Amino acid sequence: MRSRLLLIGTIVGALVLFAWQSVSNGVLQLPEKGTQPFPNDSSGAPARAIRALAPANGVYFSRYGVFASIGINADYTDQTKQFGAMMAKQIVVDLAVVFVLALLLDRLAGASVWRTGVTYSALALAYMGCIDVSNLIWWRFPMSWTLGNLLDQVIAYLLVGVTLAAIAKRFAEPPVRTAERPGVPAQGGISSRSGVGAQR
């Protein structure tokens, strides 16, 4: 993909991806399927109780069936009010992801817009399926959480693939047509106009 198409495709594709993530998380809540809030969470009591068991932020597990990612602020502030900074970081991640996907577009050898989207979504299904289903197997993540996250990623990569392919098609240079003069095939498989090289 030429640098101009790469730039435009990365920016537009990242905006499409970010828009879908906003709808998926904010409206449809696909990635949050199967998750439940702690009781009495408005007081921050669960975070304080967890901090007693997890003194530092990080990923913890117990062989008795616990897998938890801990990221508690020192002052126990409500992190749902920090969406602005998190969204800014997410758009940077989206730009990097779409940049890589745009670089891979040329390897599809001129596939149609729809076929490109389906190919990208199939790759997302294979890769994220390995991760999400593994979490289901090993850590008993809810089935609804697994399916919600898989659907979220499959749709996201479908939209990005369609977007990138449509942009590439829109800005692609028209093929150069050249007048070709047909030669005369010789019996030995060598093309010649005057029969030179033909078997005698």
Q: What is the pLDDT of residue 150?
A: 96
Provide the token pair at 104.
């891979």
Is the Cβ–Cβ distance between 165 and 117 less than 8 Å?
yes
Is the Cβ–Cβ distance between 153 and 124 less than 8 Å?
yes
Report CA 35 to chain centroid distance, whole Å: 22
B/e letters for 124-158, b = 16+ CB within 10 Å, e = fewer, are: bbeebeeebeebeeeeebeeebbbbbbbbbbbbbb
Cα–Cα distance for residue pair 91/11, rounded to 1 Å: 10
| Per-position pLDDT tens, the chain of length 200 | 678 889 999 999 999 999 999 999 989 999 989 888 888 888 788 999 999 999 999 999 999 888 889 999 888 888 878 778 889 999 999 999 999 999 998 888 777 999 999 999 999 999 999 999 999 999 999 999 999 999 999 999 999 999 999 999 888 765 555 555 555 555 655 554 544 444 44
Distances from the Cα of 162 to the Cαs of 13, 95, 196, in angstroms? 9, 16, 51
SS3 annotation, the chain: CCHHHHHHHHHHHHHHHHHHHHHHHHHHCCCCCCCCCCCCHHHCHHHHHHHHHCCCCEEEEECCCEEEEECCCCCCCCHHHHHHHHHHHHHHHHHHHHHHHHHHHHHHCCCCHHHHHHHHHHHHHHHHHHHHHHHHHHHCCCHHHHHHHHHHHHHHHHHHHHHHHHHHHHHCCCCCCCCCCCCEECCCCCEECCCCCCCC
Q: What is the pLDDT of residue 113?
A: 93
Beta bridge partners of 142: none
